[in-house]
Structure 1
C-alpha cells in the first residue's frame, strides 16, 4: 500500500525531550537507511518519535474535527461548515470516498501504523539498550498503533490490518473484520503497554501505563465488555494521583495545561519553529464576532472559521442554575475593543458588545440594549426564518462559542497554528466509563456513585446536593446527556452515538440538517477512493456498502 511505505529521507524526527518546551528537533538522517539507523539506540528512539508525529495530523485538525464533532445530536454546520464542507454533517450524497478529510485521516493513520510496526519489529535487535528500555519503546509504539487502529475501525469498519513493517510498495490489501482487529491488535497492544510502560512518563506527553489503561477502558466500553471497562476505569481512578480540576472552567485554562486531571494529551508548543501546523481546533467553534461594529479581530477572541454550531439539544442540555459546565464550556459574552454604535448607543472598549442567552428576550429589550442581545426561542438553529438576533442568526453566525480550545497565546491574530495541548484522556471520562459499565451490569447504586462524583465537581457552589442523581435516574439517555455535558466538543460524540446504537435515532431527532439523509450506510465512512483505485485486488478490498 502506497501510504504505508517508509520514506526515510522525508522524516522529521521528534527529539527525545517530548514536551511543550522542546518538542521537535531535526536530525540529519536523510542519508541513513532503516537497517543502519534504526539498529542504533538513537535511531530507534527517533523512529518512535516519528510515530508520535502522526498524532499532530489528527488531534486538533479540521479533518478529524469534522469526522468526530458534527453530524451528531450536539453539533451541526455553522456558517463556515455550510460554505466549506457541509456533506459530512448532512450525510449528503456528496459524502463519498473522494472526500479529502476521510482520505487524510486514512493516510495519516496508516503511515503511523507502519512507523509503529517498524519500531516494534526492529527494537528487539537494537544493541546498547536494556531490555526495560526496549520494552518501554515497544510499549509506546504499541499504544500508538492501538490508538490508530481504534480510530480506523470506528470510522471505517473492516480495514486492512497488518502488524508487519512495509518496506516497499504494496499493491494488495484485505478487509479484516473489526472483531479480529480488536482481538489480535488493539487489545493485546494495550495490554502489552500496560505491562511495560511506567505509571508516569519521564517526558510529559509520552504514553504511560495509566494512559494505556484509560484507553483500554474506552476500548472495552466500545466492545461491550462491561466488567473489563469498569475494572480498568476504576483502577485509573484509584491507583494514580489524578484529580478532578475544580472548578470545571479551570480545566481549560491554557496556563494550566499540565493539570492533575489530564491522563494523556497530544503536545503542541509555543515555538513556531517546532509547532508545525499546530492545534487548530480554536478556529472551528468560533462565531464571526467581527460583524459587530465594536469588535475587531484580536488574540483574546480568536480567529473564526465558524465550522460547528450547537444544536437545540446541546443548548438546552444544561441546567444553568446549578451546573457550572455551561459557563465553563461556552463563551457567551464578548467585549468591545473599539468605539462604535449599537442600537443608537455609544459603546466604548471594555463594554459588553455581544451577549448570547439561551432563553427568549423581548424584542423591545433587544432593540434597546447597548449591545447585540442574541436570544434563543427554540426554533431550529438552522432554520431559514431565524433572525439576526437569535442563536443561528446571521446565516448561522451567531451561537454560543465552545471555549475549550480557544488560544489567546497564538503568535498573531491571524495565526492558525495553536499551541494548546489537545487532551485525549482525562479523569472525568474514567468516572463516566465506570458509571456506564456499572449500569450495564445492573449495578445501579454503584453507577450513580460514579456519576455523582463528576456532577459534584460540575455543581455551582452551594448546588452540590441538587446535582446528585439516584440509581433510578440512570438510563441510556441520562448517560448520553451526561457525557454530552462533560465532553462537549472533545471529539467523542460520534463514537458515543455509534457504539450505543443511537446514531441514527438521535441524529434524526436532534440534527435537522442531517435527519433527512442519515441511514445505515453512515455507520461507517467511505473508504478513500484513492485507496480503492490503487489496489490490484479490488474484489478483496471493496468500498463500504452504500457509497
Structure 2
C-alpha cells in the first residue's frame, strides 16, 4: 500500500504570528507574520513567535460558532432553535438532520489542532539550538499534548506522523499518513508532553494568561481520567482505528483513575496563584474576567482589532470571532410594549446579538436547575429578565404600557422567565401583546413565561458568556461585533470534579477529599450569593449549609455529571463529558420543548437516535478529498458509520 500524505499547508503558511511583548506590559503582543518555515524557528524570536501563535490558535476553536455547536447541540444542555440551519439541526440527531463528514461543526478540531501541533513540533525541535529555556519550550509541549488530547477525544486515533516522522515538524504540502490508535496517541504524545510540561512549567504565569504547572496538571489529570474510561469501556462503545482496550505500558484503568485523582489532589493542595472565587456569580461577571480561578482562556480585547483577532465594530461569526453566545441568544428585540420596541439590541452581558440557533430544552430548567433559590448557579448562568433600555437608543419616552396595561420605565422588567410553573399564568393564543407569546400574571407589569412553556423561539439567554464592552458611552454600543471578552477554557474548579469522578471510579482518596467532600466544596460555593442577577439587586445570602446537607451520602457518576452541568453549563464541556462517561444516549436520548412559533407553549417529547458510532466525529471530507489515496484507502481512513 502506498503511503498516504497529510497536507499541512497552513503550518507552512500561517496567517498571523504572535510575538512575545515586553515584560513591563505583561501581555502577549501580536504582530502579523506570513510564513512559518524551518529557518523561522532557528532564531530566538522565531521560537518565541511560534509559542505565542499557539495561544492565538485557541481563538479558532473557543468562541467559534461551529466548534461550540458541536460541543453543546445534541446534549441535554442544548437542541436546535427556531433559526437553526442544517449545521445545528444535524448535530441534534433528532430526525431533522444527520452528522456528515462535510459539516463544519465536526471539522473544527481537525483543522485547527494539527496546525498548532506542527508549530509546537517545530519549536521543540529547534529550541535547544537557539538557547530557549525548557520552561518556555514546555509551553509548546503543553499545547501539543492539549491539541492531541482534543483530537483523540473527538475522532479517536489520529496521525502522530504528519509527513516527516512521528512528532516531527513537517513542511510537506502533501497530506499524509496512517492514523495511530488511541493508546498510541495517549502514551506516545499526550502523556509524555504533559508530564514534561508539569515538570518544567513555572508555578506562576510568565505573562498574563500563559500556561503554568497547574494548567498542565489539569489536562494531564483529565487525560488520565478520560483514558481510564476508554480502557474500561463500560458500554462497549467501539473505537477506531480498532485496537485492544489494553495499555501499552501495562497499566490498568484503575491505575489511571488513581493517577487522575492524585494529580488533581496535588493541584488542589498546591494552587499557586489560582483559587476558587468566593461567589459563582463572579466567575462569569464580565468586569471580573481573567480572574484567579481561570486557568486558560482564548483571549480577546476591545483595545485593538489585531489583538482581538476580529473587527471591533461588526462580527461575521467566522475566523477568530468570539461569537458562540450569539447562537444561544433568542431574538429578544421582538418584544413589544404597546407596540414599542422596549428591549433593544445592546452590547451588554444580558443582551448582545441574537441568532436563535440553539435552545435549552425544558429539562434544563425543571431538572438540572430545579433548585433555583438556594443554588446561585441558575441565576449566574442565564438571562431570566429582559429590561427596558429604549432610553439608550435615544427614545426619551418616560414610560410605556406593558403587561396588564401597567406602565414600565427604563430599567424595569419587560419580560421575565419564572423560576417555577404557575397555573395562574394566562397565555395568548398567538404572539399576543408582547409580540412573543408571553403570558401575564395579575398585578404584574412584566410579561412572564414559565419553565414548562419554553420553546425553540423564546428561552432564557446565556448570561455567563454574554457581551461586555466598556465603550458604550451610555448608549447601546456595538452589539453586532464579536465579543471582546476572553472565552473560558479551563478553571481551577475542575480539579475538584476530576478528583471526585476518579474517586467514584475507585481511586483511593485522601483525608477530606472523598467524592462527597470535593463536591461539597463546589456546592458550598454555589450557595453563596452577593448579587441577584434576575432582580438586578444586591443579595447577601449564604445557603451553603442547606446545599451541603442536600448532597447525597453516596456520590455517583450521574450526580457528578449533573453538578458539572450546573457548574459549566453552556461552556462547551458537555459533549465531551457525556462521551467520556459513555452516558450520552442515557442522559440526552430525549428532551422536551415547545415549537418554533411565538405563542406555542405545547411541549413535545423529542427522541434522539444516538448510535455507538456517533461517539466519534467524522474525519472532515476536506481531509479525505486532499489525500493521494484510493477510494478504499479513504474509506478505511474515515470513522465507521460516516
TM-score, length-scaled by structure 1: 0.90
> Which runs of 5 or more structure 1 residues have no equivalent in the other structure?
378-389
Q: Deviations over 1:477-511 (max 9, x none)?
A: 11111111111112111111111111112121447
Please state how far the C-alpha of 1:244 moved relative to its aligned partner. Answer: 1.2
Say whether 1:542 aligns with 2:592: no
8 Å CA contact 1:345–1:370 kept in 2: the answer is: yes
Say whether 1:260 aligns with 2:292: yes
Say whether 1:526 aligns with 2:588: no
Q: 1:335 aligns with which of 380, 384, 387?
A: 387
Say whether 1:366 aligns with 2:431: no
Mapped to 1, the partners of 2:466 and 2:114 lie a distance apart of 30
Please state how far the C-alpha of 1:342 moved relative to its aligned partner. Answer: 2.8
Mapped to 1, the partners of 2:94 and 2:508 lie a distance apart of 37
How much is the aligned-residue C-alpha RMSD, in angstroms? Answer: 2.5
1:427-506 aligned at under 5 Å gives the runs 427-441=492-506, 446-460=514-528, 461-468=541-548, 472-506=553-587
**How many aligned residue pairs are there?**
525
Please state how far the C-alpha of 1:523 moved relative to its aligned partner. Answer: 0.7
Measured at CA, do residues 155 and 38 of structure 1 come closer, stay the same or move farther in structure 2, by a change above 3 Å? Answer: same
1:296-335 aligned at under 5 Å gives the runs 296-300=344-348, 301-316=351-366, 317-318=368-369, 319-335=371-387
Q: Deviations over 1:316-338 (max 9, x none)?
A: 22211311111111110111122
* SS of residue matched to 1:264: strand
Mapped to 2, the partners of 1:73 and 1:33 lie a distance apart of 42
Partner of 1:384: none
8 Å CA contact 1:261–1:426 kept in 2: the answer is: yes
Say whether 1:274 aligns with 2:307: yes
Measured at CA, do residues 475 and 230 of structure 1 come closer, stay the same or move farther in structure 2, by a change above 3 Å? Answer: same
Please state how far the C-alpha of 1:298 moved relative to its aligned partner. Answer: 1.3
> Which runs of 5 or more structure 2 residues have no equivalent in the other structure?
162-166, 229-255, 311-320, 337-341, 391-398, 427-438, 472-476, 529-540, 594-604
Please state how far the C-alpha of 1:367 moved relative to its aligned partner. Answer: 5.9
Partner of 1:229: 260
Mapped to 2, the partners of 1:499 and 1:15 lie a distance apart of 36
Partner of 2:450: 375
Please state how far the C-alpha of 1:91 moved relative to its aligned partner. Answer: 6.0
Measured at CA, do residues 443 and 401 of structure 1 come closer, stay the same or move farther in structure 2, by a change above 3 Å? Answer: farther
Please state how far the C-alpha of 1:281 moved relative to its aligned partner. Answer: 2.5
Mapped to 2, the partners of 1:363 and 1:35 lie a distance apart of 68
Q: Which 10-residue stretch deviates more, 174-183 or 338-347?
A: 338-347
Measured at CA, do residues 177 and 410 of structure 1 come closer, stay the same or move farther in structure 2, by a change above 3 Å? Answer: farther
Mapped to 2, the partners of 1:354 and 1:83 lie a distance apart of 30
8 Å CA contact 1:18–1:205 kept in 2: the answer is: no
Say whether 1:401 aligns with 2:461: yes
* SS of residue matched to 2:127: helix
Mapped to 2, the partners of 1:456 and 1:404 lie a distance apart of 20
8 Å CA contact 1:267–1:422 kept in 2: the answer is: yes
8 Å CA contact 1:410–1:418 kept in 2: the answer is: no
8 Å CA contact 1:61–1:281 kept in 2: the answer is: yes
* SS of residue matched to 2:128: helix
Please state how far the C-alpha of 1:430 moved relative to its aligned partner. Answer: 0.7
Mapped to 2, the partners of 1:221 and 1:18 lie a distance apart of 38
* SS of residue matched to 2:21: coil
Mapped to 1, the partners of 2:570 and 2:225 lie a distance apart of 20
Q: 1:122 aligns with which of 118, 123, 126?
A: 126
Partner of 2:31: 26
Q: Which 10-residue stretch deviates more, 63-72 or 3-12?
A: 3-12
